[in-house]
Each structure stands twice: as C-alpha cells, then as structure tokens.
Structure 1
Amino acid sequence: MSFNIALSGINASQKDLDTTANNISNVKTTGFKQSRAEFADVYASSIFNAGNTKVGDGVLTSSVAQQFSQGTLDFTDNSLDMAISGNGFFATTDDLGSRDMTYTRSGAFKLNDDKFIVDNQGNYLQGYQVDRNSGVNSSVALATTQPIRIPDVAGAPQSTDNVFTAFNVDSRRSEIDGTANPFDPETPSTYHSSTSATVYDSLGESHTLSTYYVKRDSEESQWEVYATFDGKEIDLQAADAADEATTTSVKGAKGIRLDFLGNGEPELDSGQVTFDPGTIDLSGDDYDGNPYLDNGAEDQTLQFNFQDLSGTTTPTQFASDFEVTNLDQDGSTVGRLTNVDIGKDGLIAATYSNGDVQYLGQVAIVRFANEQGLTQIGGTKWRESIDSGSPLSGEANTGTFGGIEASALENSNVNLTKELVDLISAQRNFQANSRSLEVNNTINQTILQIR
C-alpha cells in the first residue's frame, strides 16, 4: 500500500510540474489564462474499518483549473487589436455561415482578403448588426450575430441636389453700377466678394461651384448673386421673377437679387424664413456653347438654398467683413477607407475620404456563469460545456460585461516569479515522494533478507 501512496504523490508532483511548466511557456501568449493544479487526498474505508486508525491512500489530481483573472494590457498601433477590460469573451466562428462558436480573450485581429475581421487562425469575429447611420443595434442575441466586415469604399457616389449657404455681406461696401460694370468673374472690380463649394455629379466627379456677391443699391440694401460652374458662367435662376437680378453678367448669365432690411436681416414676404432658393441647371451648354457636364454624367439640377441645413442660419447684411457662416452640400464621391475606430462599447465606426462615417457593427461580448467549466480547445480558445452553462451575450461596457480597449492586447495573466517558486516547490515534492518510494523499497528488501 505504501508503494501506491508514494506513487500517487509522484504522479501529483509530476502534474504540478507539468502545469507550472505550461504556465511558464505561455508567459507571452496573448489572452492566455494560467492554470492551477488542485489536489485532494484519497481516503477509503468501510463500515468494518476502525476510523481512528485508518491511514489515507495517497493523493489525486482533482482538477487543473484555469484562473480567469485580468491580464495586463499592452497598447499597440493596430486599430483592430482589442482587449476586454473586465468580464467577457470574444465570439468567433471558423466559417462565414457557421454557428459553432468558440470563445477567446485574445484580441489580435486583422482583415482577411475579403475584408472580414479575423484572428490569426482565420476565425471570424462575431458582432451585432447596427444602423449604418446611428449605430443603434437591433438585437444583442448571440443567434443574430454575423461576421464583421469593413469595406474599403463607402458605396456609390451621390450627385449633389442641394447646396446650403449662409453668409454676411458688408453693408459698408459701395455699390457697383451693373450697366457700366456688368458682372465678370474674371474682373474682380465687378464684384465685392466670392466663395466656392465642391459639388459632385452622378459619377462622383467633383466640380467647383463659385458664387459672387455684388452690391447694386446702397439705399435699398440690394445685392445680386451670380454663379460659375468650373469657371463657366451659369444661370442662377430665381423661383420668383421679381427676385431676378436687375442686370446680367457680361455674357448674359442671370443672377438672383437679395434685399435686406435696415437691421441687416433679409427682407421677406410674410411667412418666409429666408430668401427663396435658386436653381442651377447643368443639363445644357455654357455661354460659349460647351456642355457643363462633358464626362458622360447624368443631367442634374442644383437647388441653391440661402440657409444652413437646419434652417436656423440665414444671410445677413451687417457692417462687418464678408463672412461665410455656412457652406454645405448633400453629394459625395466614392469614399476610401481612412480610419477605423472602436469604442468601449464595441461599436465600430469607419471613416472614409469623402467625409462619410458609417457604423459597421458592434463587437459581441459573451460571458458564462462558470468560466472554469469551459472546455479548452487550444489556440487560447474555449467552448461551452455543461459545467460552464449557456453563453450570455450583451453589449460591452454595460452591466457585468467588460469594456473593449481598442489598439490593445491582453497579456497572459501568468506571474512568472510565482511560477518559478512553484516550480521549485513541485520539484521538492517530487524528490520527497521519490525518497518515500525508495524507503519503502529498502524496507521490503530488508524483510526479504530475513532468515
């Protein structure tokens, strides 16, 4: 019996050595969780044994339990590197259509050749679907998650339909006689101020729309606005004939007349908030007989609005320098990916070169009632088991779910100093049990030699 007791001690010490060695070998493994060998004594008896004289039967390994304490964070230059600060796991699948989930704390992610976020083994990171514009998700159920993809372009181009502008024209400027000095974009003395906006056609090609401001009547606080498209004079037509400019440009292009009150605010009809919008028709030829759009783009008409997008800022005429207080338009070209940002809640926002910002998904976070019940499968991954309980999914940085740190990786939680001390202790235990086995062998030899 004593041989078996000593042998069980040797086996336990060997298991302790193996566990410690495995911890030490994974000191630099991202997301690794150290293990601890846990032992229990062996005690067998029956109703006919004298309990107060019974000796134990050795030791056995009751569990090699992983310790899911937080590892330290290393910050990196990769925006797709992620670490969970607190409770939770990332969910991954090995195929686009698979629902066989594995779970990991290792957030070393990258893009594959199809622009999906994957780990080093090519497993797809799972995320919740969100509204592209607001970032609001529709569900946090694990069954609704999908692999997260980051496209490098922001969709098809959008032609400009509206231009919004608000400005202040300087009331101190002297009027320019439109008959003697008609507007000419190439002659700065025929206008007071100008500004430009970039607009887009149906192919996403950019064009320059410039507007020019000319004071015609100081007493009536009357101004005229003219436009050019890529340097070509073009009609800025008024919705109401009464608002047309009293003169035209040197080539006959029409403009819009703006009248201001003595307090510098727009002079408007009852119920109006700002001046009526003007229209710019790009479907025809310019005043030299050349088409405004000669690249094959579709015909389009721009509406020129004398207000900001919200309608709260309008043109003014104060005794102050010319100033553009708002200039915006609703078109866009094809955007190229310029930046990816991941929030603490796991929301992924992509910024594109055309100024477009799209929310592409929200990283799913999963936790378990009993983390130590998870089944290890290697690669710093686990699967659910009966002991772990079912996965509970949710949003990062809410409730008991940890927050996500972007551009960071979670280090192994192995304490190397402690492991080296444990290694020495396990070695001593192995030696002591080996000595116990040797003593038992000596006793048996002595008994066998009795005559």
Structure 2
Amino acid sequence: MSLMGAINSAISALYAQSQALSNISDNLANSETTAYKSTDTSFSSLVAGSGSSSSGGVTATTSSNITEQGLLVASSSSTDLAIEGDGFFVVSNDTDGGQTYYTRNGEFEVDEDGYLVNDGYYLMGWATDSEGDVIGGTSESSLVAIDIDSVKSSVDATSEVSFQANLPADAAVGDSFETTFEVYDSLGTSSTVSVTWTKTAENTWSMEVGDPELSSSGETIGTSSTDIIEIVFNDDGTLASTDPSPAEFSITGWTTGAADSTISLDLGTVGSADGLSQYASDDTDPDIEIQQITQDGLAYGSLTSIEISDDGSVTAFFDNGEERVIYKIPVATFANANGLTELSDGVYARSSASGNSTLHEAGEGGAGTINGGWLEASTTDTSEEFSSMLSAQQAYSASSQIMSTASDMFDTLLDAVR
C-alpha cells in the first residue's frame, strides 16, 4: 500500500466514523422519544487495486432495527396506545383517506374536531355496528379516521322490568300497597309507573299497573293496559304462578310521539324466591320490601370516556350507562418491516423493500396486541451509545493521526528530492 493508499484509507475511516457519530448523536437525542428505534452503524472493508499495490479502506452503513420491541410504560391518558409484539398503527395525513403511513408512536389525543391524532397524523380504524362487528370488511379501503365526536348515544325503550321484592305474608286480605318503577319510551323519555299490590286471598295477590307519568310534573303521558295480574305463592313463600304467564303490560298513546310499548315483567322463577317472595315482615305495620327493580331502557346519553382493549376495540362509555364498541383499530404487519422508509415523527412509509402491509385484528395472525393507557419507550440504550461514542472517537483520532503521519512522510520525501 502506498502513502496515497494510506491517506485514502484514513479519509474513508474519518467519513465512516463521522457517520457513526452522527447515528450515535441521533440515538442519544431520541432516548426519550416515544417508540423511537435506535440506529446501528455497520462497517465493511474496501479494497482497491490488486497484489502488492492494493490499498484498503472502510465504508459505513446505517441500519435501523424497526422491529425491535421497546419497553412499555404506563401512561395517564386512555388514548395513549402501545403495540406489544409485531406491527404498526395505520395513520393518515388526511381525515378523508389521504396517504397511508405506519407508526409505533401511540401518543394519540382527541383534537378539537374529535379525531384521534398524533403530530398531524390521524389514527385509522374500522367502524363497527351496534354489536361491535366490523362494517364493510377488514381491508385497507374500509379504514376511516377515528372520530370520537361522531359517536352518538342510542336510546332503548323499556322492554323488561325485573322485580326483587318481598310481599308481606302477614298483611291482611284487602291490604293494598303502592310502589313505582321507571320506564323509557322509544324516544328515550323517562316516566314513572305506579304498581298497586293488593292481597286478595291467602298466598294470593293482584298487581295493577298505572299510567306512566313524568317524574318532574306528574303529567300522564300514556295509557297502560288495565289487565290485573294475579300472583300466587307456595306455602313456603316461593313463587307458585302468575296469570298471565309470562306477566306483561302495554302502554299506548304516548303523548311524546313514541311507539307503543309492550313490557314484560320478570317476577321471578316459579318455585324460587329469586324475584317475588312472600314472607312475614314481623312488623305491626307490614309493608312491601323492595330489594331491587331494574329495567332495560336507556335515555339519550352523552359520551363520557373511551377505553381501548388489547384486541383494538374502542369502547365508548355514556352517562346513561350505555357502553358499546365503536371502532376496531387494526395492526399492520410487513414481510420486511426493516425495509420501511423512515420519516419524521416516528412515521414510516412502505417501500419496495418492505412490501405491502397486511392488516389484522390486534392479537391475530402474528400481529401484536394493543395496550390502551401505555406507550412504547425508545430502544436507545444510553450506556451502550456512550461506549460506541468513545470507540468512534478513538478510531477517528487514530485515522487523523495516520493522515498526519503520512503528511510528514511526504515532507520527508520532498526534502530528499531537493
């Protein structure tokens, strides 16, 4: 190797170690960046010429281990997300289905328009129906920007009322008691319905349902059927029968404009005391003891919060007690994820090296699970980076010393010629 060969090798080493230091600098700068994937520098030897005149050198190549799993760290925000395992979130730079990108950075927040967004990238998902099933298939063309504000509460008319109560066995025949329960019409209007319980014979009671009234004003807003329900108990206090069976009543003529209602009354299991029972109250003034009355209707509600489960289901919670899955967040995988093109903000674009994405429901088909309320930490190991920095510094200094020595040798040669 000639002096020029030595200088060429030293120059290539200076460039390669500069590149290594640049990568180290990036890694350290992003040691606290969510889902940042550290880059490595690989060195390869160069040989120019042949035989005794051949000279060497080095080249540096930067590689990013995009598939490396970072540590999951708990977050205080339910919209922060982390993938545990393989895969990426699908994001777009436009709510109307613009260019598709991929990221592991799950620092999403709800913007002023109700979209889940991170640094201008909108989280994409599949819309679901009332049963939580994906609408329109699980392809990329079915993805939409997740819009929390677009989700509205549903209303449900009351279709069943369940009773857990004890009718006093020591009540006198002809004694009557009154209780109330709440029902909703098909438009979500709440009203109060009264029930008159009358002991008509030993172990026998009648149940008569009143008209629905507004709780606030007492205004009657519908007409209940006037059929009286007969309830018979066994001599051990358990329910023997109801007539009709099953017990039910109807409400017609809602002044709210709602559809007519038919409401079944769950009074318990025959031969059991899991609903209505008849036991002595041991009270000088016996009364009905209500343990619980429940109904399945819902008023219109406002969204209070969302929760994201490990299968990517986005569940909305409303202040009326309703909860339902509104979106499914997919996980995108690639045949060669390390071939993705890296962009700013922890975002990647697919390339010919990575191939096209395959979308999965989280936790299926080799895709990772989604953790709501967690974030993936940077994969930078600061102690390792400092060690690499010292190595790069030493190699850079040695290469610069070679150039200085070669320069001195050239000066010696020139002096000999003079």
Is the strand fraction higher in 1 or 2?
A: 2
CA distance in 2, matches of 1:6, 1:268: 99
SS in 1 for 2:47: coil
Q: Does residue 342 of structure 1 match 2:327?
A: no
SS in 1 for 2:304: strand
Q: Is the 8 A contact 1:384 1:390 kept in 2?
A: yes
1:164 corresponds, among 145, 161, 167, to 161
Q: 1:327 to 1:91 in 2, by over 3 A?
A: same
CA distance in 2, matches of 1:312, 1:382: 65
Q: Is the 8 A contact 2:21 2:392 kept in 1?
A: yes
Q: Does residue 147 of structure 1 match 2:145?
A: yes
What's 1:227 paired with? 210
CA distance in 2, matches of 1:332, 1:85: 37
Q: Is the 8 A contact 1:161 1:301 kept in 2?
A: no
Q: Give 2:13's aligned amino acid.
A: G
SS in 1 for 2:239: coil
TM-score by length of 2: 0.85
What's 1:420 paired with? 386
Q: Is the 8 A contact 2:210 2:224 kept in 1?
A: yes
User: How do 1:38-77 residues align onto structure 2 when only pairs under 5 Å count?
Assistant: 38-45=42-49, 49-50=50-51, 53=52, 55-77=54-76
Q: Give 2:127's aligned amino acid.
A: Q
Q: 1:137 to 1:402 in 2, by over 3 A?
A: farther
How far 1:202 moved relative to its partner? 5.8
Q: Is the 8 A contact 2:209 2:226 kept in 1?
A: no
CA distance in 2, matches of 1:141, 1:417: 43
Q: Give 2:58's aligned amino acid.
A: V
CA distance in 2, matches of 1:355, 1:114: 24
CA distance in 2, matches of 1:312, 1:238: 27
Q: Is the 8 A contact 2:105 2:346 kept in 1?
A: yes
How far 1:33 moved relative to its partner? 0.5
Q: Is the 8 A contact 1:201 1:298 kept in 2?
A: no
SS in 2 for 1:420: helix
CA distance in 2, matches of 1:124, 1:309: 50
2:38 corresponds, among 34, 54, 57, to 34
CA distance in 1, matches of 2:268, 2:146: 33
CA distance in 1, matches of 2:194, 2:48: 95
What's 2:122 paired with? 124
Q: Give 1:118's aligned amino acid.
A: V
Q: Give 1:143's aligned amino acid.
A: S
Q: Give 1:225's aligned amino acid.
A: E
How far 1:122 moved relative to its partner? 2.1
Q: 1:236 to 1:176 in 2, by over 3 A?
A: farther
What's 2:285 paired with? none
CA distance in 1, matches of 2:219, 2:231: 22
How far 1:416 moved relative to its partner? 0.5
User: How do 1:77-226 residues align onto structure 2 when only pairs under 5 Å count?
Assistant: 77-119=76-118, 121-135=119-133, 139-151=137-149, 154-155=152-153, 157-158=155-156, 160=157, 162-170=159-167, 172-177=169-174, 191-192=176-177, 194=179, 196-201=180-185, 204-218=188-202, 221-226=204-209
What's 2:246 paired with? 274
Q: Is the 8 A contact 1:78 1:407 kept in 2?
A: yes
How far 1:76 moved relative to its partner? 1.2
Q: Is the 8 A contact 1:153 1:335 kept in 2?
A: no
Q: Is the 8 A contact 1:168 1:324 kept in 2?
A: yes
SS in 2 for 1:390: coil
Q: Is the 8 A contact 2:114 2:147 kept in 1?
A: yes
Q: Give 1:306's aligned amino acid.
A: L
What's 2:284 paired with? none
Q: Give 2:68's aligned amino acid.
A: S
| Larger deviation, residues 301-310 vs 372-381 | 301-310
Percent identity (aligned): 24
Name stretches of at least 5 consecutive residues in structure 1 with no aligned partner: 178-189, 245-255, 284-292
SS in 2 for 1:438: helix
User: How do 1:379-418 residues align onto structure 2 when only pairs under 5 Å count?
Assistant: 379-418=345-384
Q: 1:344 to 1:308 in 2, by over 3 A?
A: farther
How far 1:153 moved relative to its partner? 5.8
Q: Does residue 306 of structure 1 match 2:265?
A: yes
Q: Does residue 362 of structure 1 match 2:322?
A: no
| Larger deviation, residues 55-64 vs 197-206 | 197-206
CA distance in 1, matches of 2:317, 2:167: 38
Q: 1:133 to 1:312 in 2, by over 3 A?
A: farther
CA distance in 2, matches of 1:417, 1:409: 22
2:317 corresponds, among 351, 374, 378, to 351
Q: Is the 8 A contact 1:173 1:215 kept in 2?
A: no
TM-score by length of 1: 0.79
How far 1:67 moved relative to its partner? 4.9
Q: 1:134 to 1:328 in 2, by over 3 A?
A: farther
CA deviations 1:103-137 (Å, max 9, x no partner) are: 11100001122211111x22111112323323456
CA distance in 1, matches of 2:361, 2:173: 63
CA distance in 2, matches of 1:75, 1:310: 47
Q: Does residue 265 of structure 1 match 2:239?
A: yes
CA distance in 1, matches of 2:304, 2:170: 44
Q: Give 1:191's aligned amino acid.
A: S
Q: Is the 8 A contact 2:153 2:318 kept in 1?
A: no
